């Protein structure tokens, strides 16, 4: 199942933050700046970084990066960490390419709709 890309938006990449093309792209709700997926409260997962021209960039507080949004898709190549997850379960951002069922200190990624081995297919939390 491939992500259904619907649109994207550019955000300032937080100072010192590293973004890689295809990694989970989040926005820090306190600052409005883009950050890579990580265990932290207050992040909103929007999609994946679209850095096809550059591949990897590091924020300087002014550099803008594009995050592609999707409605329904594989959080891929995201691995599931911290134990098994099941369809219908809320999962949380665990890293730039992973989700977890453990909520402690983490931000919601979305709801699992399918699990295929170590890959979770997630309906993102920002899509109704």
pLDDT, tens digit, for every residue of 19-37?
Answer: 999 899 999 999 999 999 9
- pLDDT classification of 128: cutoffs 50, 70, 90: very low
- Give the number of domains in the chain: 2
Q: Residue 119 sits in which domain range?
A: 73-124
Q: Do 50 and 62 sit in the same domain of this protein?
A: yes
Residue pLDDT, tens place only, 57-105: 999 999 999 998 876 544 555 778 877 899 999 999 999 989 999 999 9
Angle at 18 between CA 17 and CA 24, to 5 degrees: 100
Q: Are residues 85 and 114 in the same domain?
A: yes
Q: Which two tokens stand for residue 81?
A: 């960490």
Q: Same domain, yes or no, for 65 and 82?
A: no
Token pair of 52, please?
């096809």
Please check whether residues 49 and 77 belong to one and the same domain.
Answer: no
CA dist 43 and 88 (Å) reads 21
Q: For tokens 């911290």, what's the residue?
A: 82
Residue 58 and residue 10 share a domain: yes
Distance CA(18)–CA(70), nearest Å, equals 21
| Residues 9 and 66 grouped into a single domain | yes
Note whether 13 and 64 are within 8 A (CB). Answer: yes
If asked whether residues 61 and 77 sit together in one domain, one would say no
Residue where a domain stops, chosen among 70, 86, 104:
70
Query: Based on the domain organization, do 38 and 91 belong to the same domain?
Result: no
∠ Cα 74 79 81 (to 5°) = 130
Same domain as 66, residue 77:
no
Q: Which has more confidence, 6 or 35?
A: 35
SS3 content of the chain, % helix, strand, coil (to 5): 0, 55, 45
Number of H helices, E strands in the chain: 0, 12
Residues 16 and 66 in one domain: yes
23 and 44 within one domain: yes
């Amino acid at each position: 199942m491939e992500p259904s890309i619907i649109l994207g938006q550019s955000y300032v990449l937080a100072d010192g933050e590293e973004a890689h093309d295809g990694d989970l792209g989040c926005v820090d709700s306190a600052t409005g700046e883009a950050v890579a997926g990580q265990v932290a409260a207050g992040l909103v997962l929007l999609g994946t970084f679209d850095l096809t021209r550059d591949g990897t960039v590091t924020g300087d507080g002014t550099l803008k990066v594009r995050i592609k949004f999707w409605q329904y898709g594989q959080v891929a190549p995201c691995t599931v960490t911290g134990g098994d997850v099941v369809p219908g379960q809320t999962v949380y951002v665990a890293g730039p390419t992973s989700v977890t069922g453990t909520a402690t200190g983490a931000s919601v990624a979305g709801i699992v709709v399918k699990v295929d081995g170590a890959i979770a297919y997630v309906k993102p939390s920002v899509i109704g």
